[in-house]
Structure 1
């Protein structure tokens, strides 16, 4: 039996309620270092709410979130980002008035080695750090295949490339854990295949753990090491892609088979 990889993310007993709606009930989720962990389920199952709990956008009624052994419960989004949790969103969140490179540098600035005063006075330290960050961010653009478009306005990119730009910006933060919320939404088959290859490389080449929320079952089954299925805010099943495919309840409810 293969030895289990160490836990990177441990969500335990998380419950969330919005008014009269119980969005999550006693949900556990484990993502191990070196794994791509997917969360699937129908609309309203609680998938995006769960990502919000992990990155600090949603405050649960109870439960805990730990990253690499450190308790993140109650900590705000910016502290979780500094600790290594970064998220992309269902809806595009790019800065259309900036260039492609400038968009990615907004992620890299989390690790900028200068002060606000350096920035205002444009000191030598500021200029050195900006040059270093620009080089780092060009590497991230190259990783997703957009280096040749670094100086174009972000708004000029096709939709699929704007999705990849979001991912480049996220990995520029150099996170431990990347939360991807429906990254294939609106992509065609070729773009989705490219996205799958990039997600695998993020795990394999950058050693970043990935939690993926996605409706494209072909992509999920192709890239995932483990899958958690949510149903009405509760865990329905957990397992490998094969185990999930062979689970009669999952097949009937989520994969569209009888």
Structure 2
């Protein structure tokens, strides 16, 4: 459901312009930035934050860095090596989940989300660490432009992180699981930009699975999780507590 910002603080004026523009020609990247800036207003001094990965999360990290340089005290746990590199460059103090096993808030993007805050994530390849960080957090806020909000998940291929050993058998088992759920399955091993097999931060491969419309994400989630060789999948169910959606006409919130 749509709602006002949960636990919203007063708008910050610390190094970040949080004005939300209303312009019909606004770019997708600018909308991502606006969603990130709106989420920044949920950050409080002393918080332990999970830092997401991807282009939208990067806008949040840059905005957070500006606040840190102006005196905000937070500690971040990054969900990918790329996020860690950017956060360090922004001067954000970092820790690990070994040091901080319980986080206050995670801010991350999504490749798709529905009105029940079920997500597809992992387009950037960081789904395993993203899910671990989100699960360690009291709250997860998703930041996205309006194009990511869909009626039914599945237009974006579902990333499935798999072990290299037995990848052929694992891929076949994913196809079999889809058949049992009466879903089509086009499975493609992800490649890096140079054409070599993509390798995650954890050293695994990714199968991008096109299942068509995913009408029962919970059933698919359980089926994939039961397959030996599947390390993790990109369905995030029951993790997000709210989402900030930026459209040309302004910001809206979805709350679980």
TM-score (norm 2): 0.31
Between Structure 1 and Structure 2, the one with more helix by share is 1
TM-score (norm 1): 0.31
